[in-house]
Amino acid sequence: MTFRLRLLLTLLLGGSGSLYARPELQVEHLDHSAHPVIELRLNQPGLRTEDLIVLETGAGKSAEGRLLSTLPATGPLHVLLVLDATLSLRPRAFALLKKQAGEIVTGLPEASTVSLYRINGQPMVLLTREKNRSLITEKIQSIKQTGKRTRIYDSLYAALSEGRNSVESGTRVLAILLTDGIDEGSYLTRDDCFELIGISSQKKIPVYVLLFDRGRDRALYARLALKSGGLIESGTVAGLKRIRTHWETLPESGTRVRYESRLALEKPGLNFFRDPTVKVQISLIGDARSAERTYALPTGKWISGIMEKENLGLTLLIALGLCALFLIVVFIVFMVVIALRRPVSDAPQPEGITETSASGPLLSESAPATPTVVGEAVNDDLSPLNESAPIDPYQIYIEQEKSDLLREGEPGPYRISIKDYAYRMLQNALREGKAYRSARLRYLGSKERVYDLFLDSTVIGRGPLANIHIQDRQMSDIHARIRKVDNKFIIYDMLSTAGVFINGKRILRPRALFDGDSLQMGSSRFEFEGRKISE
């Protein structure tokens, strides 16, 4: 059956076939390293060679690919491992929890990746998409129990957010929660947990729950696990075995297709300098849907096709042209090297230079070097900032602080002069500030809440990394930061979109907070309350 006849059959049958109710057809991965044999993965499971038509188009030519085989495909596996490390777990149960986590990692398929989350005072990402089994196991065993504020829902939400990105890239994802089920500090509520069920079901991320110790709220976690397509078990050897058996028997997520490209076997033409991009269109017989993907034809195959198909004279002409181009490039490089090796003494000496050395010209005492100035900071040993860098040094500092916070506190590479500038801005704010014995932030919303500012650094925003989490669409994920220095409280605007206002005025630099100050971030209002040291 010719391609046109098969395509006409596809259009006539339209969506009457059994495949019509299935989701949109997508090519999740294409591998052309063994060209002309090409392997791709479709998101539709259960397909056969007689169900498919592959058409390739490139360089103004089209050819139908020869289908070789179709096999079930599960795709790569990404495991989101969320461990409870708070003191609500008894030491014996915590040791068993870490042991079970290590066995989960050991039993994963070879190509699997693991993201490790620790439930603590705040969601903490320890590893992201790591393949090294020994490193993952070592990281699990190094986890210590700290804090009593268990934030299970917040940590699970952060893990599922990462899982959504993996699902969209064609990776198979599952989440495993190991906990005693006691949640006392999450900003998300039990009702928000049902939203997690919707996220898991929609993105096809099954959640498996292993409950240890007392195992509170089992009914809630059972709904989360079962409705997402996962399983809930007690933290025992038998429970872990049942969970592993369950995820190993999940249905295939797609079909792996292998076919032979015939486009490269056609006469490619003389103009091989044009972009040899090939478009692959794969269609289902009896279904109007199709999926597309492009790949670059390997240059070696492209040129060898020309040499096989064209006569010898034209092939030699092309080869001579390439040789001439190569010689021209070599000559240009040679001339540039000669120009760079020319002695410095041949060039005229500019005024103020009295002497040269092996490392270059030296400045005389009458022409001192001009120091680099960044903001108000002067440092003779620093080179100037790049032209593409923002003009405001404080903005550079805040951007680096923000990125460091997202990377869990890794040191940033910003320049010493920028840190010096930010340090002096902090000193100015401290001079203006007033010391308090303790302080808190009162949220003046529909439901009034009070937050104690006992941390050295408190982040305010609507993102998962915020210590004070506010559901306000006008707030940024990391909106503001309050630092406690010498019992004085300094607020920073972390380059938020809506800004930070104190008593109706927007702040552009770090500002000290005083008792009774009115703050506005987005559409949310707060009041700062400071308790005097003498009280």
Reading the block at residue 159, the tokens are 């893990």
CB 70 within 8 A of CB 167: no
State the pLDDT confidence band at 119, using cuts at 50, 70 and 90: confident
SS (H, E, C) 448-515: CEEEECCCCEEEEECCCCCCEECCCCCCCCCCEEEEEECCEEEEEECCCCCCEEECCEECCCCEECCC
More confident residue, 319 or 215: 319
pLDDT on residue 350: 40
- For residue 156, which amino acid is it? L
pLDDT band at 158 (very low <50, low <70, confident <90, very high): confident
**293 in helix, strand or coil?**
strand
Q: Determine the pLDDT at residue 464.
A: 87
Query: pLDDT exceeding 70 applies to what percent of the chain?
Result: 70
Query: What was the pLDDT predicted at 377?
Result: 34
Model confidence pLDDT, tens digit, residues 399-427: 777 776 766 544 555 555 667 777 888 88
Count other C-beta atoms under 10 Å from residue 370's C-beta.
7
Share of the chain above pLDDT 90, in %: 23
pLDDT at 301: 53
User: In this predicted structure, what is the pLDDT of residue 304?
Assistant: 54
Q: pLDDT tens digit string along 246-303?
A: 877 665 567 889 998 887 544 444 444 455 788 999 998 888 778 898 888 665 555 5
Distance in Å from the first CA to the final CA of the chain: 92
Rounded to the nearest integer, the mean pLDDT of the chain is 76
Residue of higher predicted confidence among 221 and 360: 221
The closest alpha carbon to 210, from 63, 81, 315, belongs to 81
Tell me the C-alpha distance between 113 and 235, whole Å.
Answer: 23
Mutual angle of helices 393-406 and 416-432, in 10-degree steps: 100
Quick: pLDDT tens for 330-388: 999 888 888 877 654 444 444 433 333 333 333 333 333 333 333 333 333 333 334 34
The alpha carbon torsion through 119, 122, 123, 125 (nearest 10 deg) reads -100
What amino acid occupies position 224?
L
pLDDT at 357: 36
pLDDT, tens digit, for every residue of 33-73? 888 889 888 877 778 888 899 999 887 788 898 999 888 76
Encode 196-262 in three state secondary structure.
HHHHHHHCCCCEEEEECCCCCCHHHHHHHHHHCCCCEEECCHHHHHHHHHHHHCCCCCEEEEEEECC
Contact 386, 479 (CB under 8 A): no
Average pLDDT over residues 122-132: 84
pLDDT for 162 equals 81
Q: Is residue 10 very low, low, confident or very high in pLDDT (cuts 50, 70, 90)?
A: very low
Report d(CA 455, CA 469) in Å as an integer.
15
More confident residue, 158 or 211: 211
Q: From CA 154, how far away is CA 30, in angstroms rounded?
A: 36
Element (H, E) at 527: strand 524-531
Rounded distance between C-alpha atoms, residue 414 and residue 394, angstroms = 11
200 — pLDDT class (breaks 50, 70, 90)? low
Question: Which residues, listed in sequence order, are joined to residue 426 by a DSSP beta bridge?
Answer: none
Measured distance CA(36)–CA(265) in Å, rounded = 9
Residue 481 has pLDDT above 80, yes or no: yes
Strand partners, 357: 360
Give the pLDDT score at 88: 83
pLDDT of 5 > 60? The answer is: no
Q: What is the pLDDT of residue 359?
A: 35
pLDDT in tens, 495-535: 899 999 999 999 988 999 999 999 999 999 999 999 988 76
What tokens were used for 261? 């490209």
| pLDDT attached to residue 420 | 73
**352, 365 Cβ separation under 8 angstroms:** no
Domains defined along the chain, listed by start: 3-74+253-305 (2.60.40.10), 77-248 (3.40.50.410), 379-535 (2.60.200.20)
| 123-132, 368-377, 476-485: least confident range | 368-377
Flag whether pLDDT at 17 surpasses 90.
no
- Which of 130-139, 197-206, 293-302, 369-378 has maximum average pLDDT? 130-139
